[in-house]
Structure 1
Amino acid sequence: MSAGHTAVTTELFSDPSEDCGVRDVLDRLGDKWSVQVLVELSRGVRRFRELQRAIPGDISQRMLTLTVRRLERDGMVRRTVHATVPPQVDYELTELGRSLAGLIRTMSDWSAEHHEAIVEFRRDWDAAHPDAEIR
């Protein structure tokens, strides 16, 4: 970790161990599928196939299984198995998951409101730095 990053982290967190919790949660939210699963489940209870069809990007069965299990492990999703033949499984957000979905919705609204400005800033920056490898 760079000295600059450490200084910023130190300013944000009085207890150095606290930043590990933030990174841990952001790692989960930063993966490709978790936010999409949370957003879809914020619309209501879903069965596995409903959830798979509703998520854009052609998520595989294995990846969806891993994602919902990780979210279940983190306390964000509740999995209910119904004793039918074949067994039916429902997924829904827990109270913790619903509170996070509200924050994701806020972030999504912010993104939509500011996307054009960000694109314009990027265009201007790219024009001013044509040899930069950052894109």
Structure 2
Amino acid sequence: MFDTVCPSGLAPIRFGDKWAGMIIRCLQDGPRRFSELRVPLRGITAKVLAGSLRTLVRDGLIVRTAHPAPTQRVEYALTPLGRSMIGPMDAACAWTREHWDELLDAREASSAPS
């Protein structure tokens, strides 16, 4: 999903905006800071990441926790509702892997000159 050779945009099943599924995947092993999320999400801008995080917080899928001084930091973590998305996402990823060649063929056929 995070490999540039594997464009997640090919998957016909989306969870939220373009980045939401990948953000959820990044948080499945535990909380992360904003800067830590930008490492696996190489192609995302800070502005788009902030907007996607706000949307996921608004929808109750992640929680934003601001830790007070002396080491002020903000972490994002999955809520139980967000964690419940992992199973459906696994199923969608398995389906995409199973039909990968068909999806590529269809995409190539539709972009071929008529």
Shorter-chain TM-score range = 0.7 to 0.9
* Map of 1:20 onto structure 2: none
Summarize deviations over 1:68-91 as a string: whole Å, max 9, x none: 111000000011110024520111
Instruction: Give the alignment of 1:55-74 within 5 angstroms.
Output: 55-57=41-43, 59-74=44-59
With structure 1 as the length reference, what TM-score do the two structures score?
Answer: 0.64
- How far residue 101 of structure 1 moved from its aligned partner, in angstroms, is 2.3
How many residues align? The count is 100
Asked whether 1:115 is paired with 2:109, we answer no
Gaps of 5+ in 1: 1-27
With structure 2 as the length reference, what TM-score do the two structures score?
Answer: 0.74
* Map of 1:80 onto structure 2: 65
* Map of 1:42 onto structure 2: 28
Separation in 2, partners of 1:48, 1:95: 20
Please identify, of 101-110 and 74-83, the stretch whose mean Cα deviation from structure 2 is larger.
Answer: 101-110
- How far residue 130 of structure 1 moved from its aligned partner, in angstroms, is 5.4
Summarize deviations over 1:17-75 as a string: whole Å, max 9, x none: xxxxxxxxxxx835221111111111221111001112132x11111111111100000
Please identify, of 33-42 and 83-92, the stretch whose mean Cα deviation from structure 2 is larger.
Answer: 83-92
Separation in 1, partners of 2:70, 2:38: 21
Separation in 2, partners of 1:32, 1:77: 16
Q: CA RMSD in A?
A: 2.4
CA contact 2:17–2:52 (8 Å) conserved in 1: no
